Amino acid sequence: MMKISTQFDAGSVVVKDLSNPADIRLALRPDNASEFAQWFYFRLQGAAYQNCVMHFENAADAAYPLGWEDYQACASYDRQNWFRVPTEYENGVLTINHTPLSNSVYYAYFEPYSHEQHLNLLGDAQGSGLCRIDDLGSTVQGRDINLLTIGNQVESDMKIWIIARQHPGETMAEWFIEGLLGRLLDPQDPTARTLLDRATFYIVPNMNPDGSVLGNLRTNAAGANLNREWENPTLERSPEVFTVREKMMETGVDLFLDIHGDEGLPFVFVAGTEGVPNYNERIEALEDQFKLALLNASPDFQDDYGYDKDAPGQANMTLATNWVGNHFNCLAYTLEMPFKDNANLPDDDFGWNGQRSLRLGEAVLSAILNVLPELRP
């Protein structure tokens, strides 16, 4: 007998009808306190060697319906090795068509990154002897808001701030941080050693632990979209942003990266601060230098496709990158990775995934090193 379950970290789906494997009727479940819906993650049991056709009947009501076009769902038997399975979007219905080869199989919008993995990531970083874990406060549901500090923390150091996963369904962002940390904490890596001679890194691997555990796409436990809270965060609604912003004010910022995933565009790209009041030629030159360095560091990156640029003075100042870039008059970028595949370097079996995100995290350190001498005017 078939069974679908979601009672695990980030599990999320609504089961409408499970009586026929050829016509399994499902629905996307919205975030716990908002209408955003797109993330799904569930376990199917009892369907080995049966052709399972799973219909998400409310896919047209997702936060980003364009995200379903040319999208392939992720599947895994062991939650370690994820692969893509045939998926179609037609007439407002998303359909996964897969014949599982085992009695237990998992399906997800993207390769998950669990809270246990998150805690292990923090522990491994601390175990390197090069990293300090600081507690900045608690989330709405009482989880820890942790900051990793890596470097000498002397006044002359460049202050590099990197945050990830403001939107909890964008798990590729924490995979990216895992890769970045792995390289930055490698005592044999010359790029890492040179960076840590000149810079202190402040890294928040997961800005939204509540949303991550709840299986939310975009919001925290209070229903706040954290990347719209930076102008005026509150301890009640967005303590994650409030506490991180306070720490930034204390340390200062010379370079800021906010790591995300984009549902629609099948590319890796960045979005800058061209619309903020303090934008100037120095920042523009730094942006160009960083992009060129990242192009050289990773063929997965490109600069032909991305978001439309803001007109001068028209930036949304509630976004992290805009607020930080303007407040500290520093180079600030939002870095986006795809939920789909990377159209520049497609991989039919795996699409964009955790490992590719991790490799990009490693590569970004080369771009940071390239711009480091120019960060301060």
Average pLDDT over residues 278-292: 98
Tell me, what's the pLDDT at 57? 98
Percent of the chain with pLDDT over 70: 100
Q: Which residue shows structure tokens 């930055």?
A: 184
Mean pLDDT of the chain: 98
Give the tens place of pLDDT for each residue, 209-252: 999 999 999 999 999 999 999 999 999 999 999 999 999 999 99
Q: Are 259 and 176 in contact (CB under 8 A)?
A: yes
CA distances from 264 to 63, 67, 256, 361 (A): 11, 4, 24, 21
Percent of the chain with pLDDT over 90: 100
Q: Are 301 and 337 in contact (CB under 8 A)?
A: no
Tell me, what's the pLDDT at 40? 98
The pTM is what? 0.98
Question: Helices then strands (H, E): number in the chain?
Answer: 8, 17
Average pLDDT over residues 165-188: 98
Tell me, what's the pLDDT at 359? 98
Tell me the sheet residues that pair with 96.
54, 87
Average pLDDT over residues 197-208: 98
Average pLDDT over residues 258-262: 98
Tell me, what's the pLDDT at 315? 98
**Nearest residue to 333 via CA among 252, 268, 241, 238:** 268
Distance CA 25, CA 3 (A): 13
Give the tens place of pLDDT for each residue, 330-368: 999 999 999 999 999 999 999 999 999 999 999 999 999
Average pLDDT over residues 117-129: 98
Give the tens place of pLDDT for each residue, 57-84: 999 999 999 999 999 999 999 999 999 9
Q: What string of H, E and C letters represents the secondary structure of 8-41?
A: CCCCECEEEECCCHHHEEEECCCCCCCCCCCCCE
Tell me, what's the pLDDT at 347? 97
Angle (nearest 5°) at CA 325 between 323 and 328: 95
Fold of 3-108: Immunoglobulin-like (2.60.40)
Give me the catalytic one of 274, 336, 362, 374: 336
Average pLDDT over residues 88-92: 98
Categorize the per-residue pLDDT at 107 as very low, low, confident or very high, splitting at 50, 70 and 90. Answer: very high
Tell me, what's the pLDDT at 123? 98
**Which of helix, strand or coil describes residue 376?**
coil
115-374 maps to which CATH number?
Answer: 3.40.630.10
Tell me, what's the pLDDT at 281? 98
**Nearest residue to 339 via CA among 115, 118, 64, 93:** 64
Average pLDDT over residues 159-183: 98
Within 122-188, strands assigned E span 131-138, 144-150, 158-164
Active site residue 336: yes
Tell me, what's the pLDDT at 125? 98
Distance CA 185, CA 74 (A): 30
Spell out the domain ranges in the chain.
3-108, 115-374
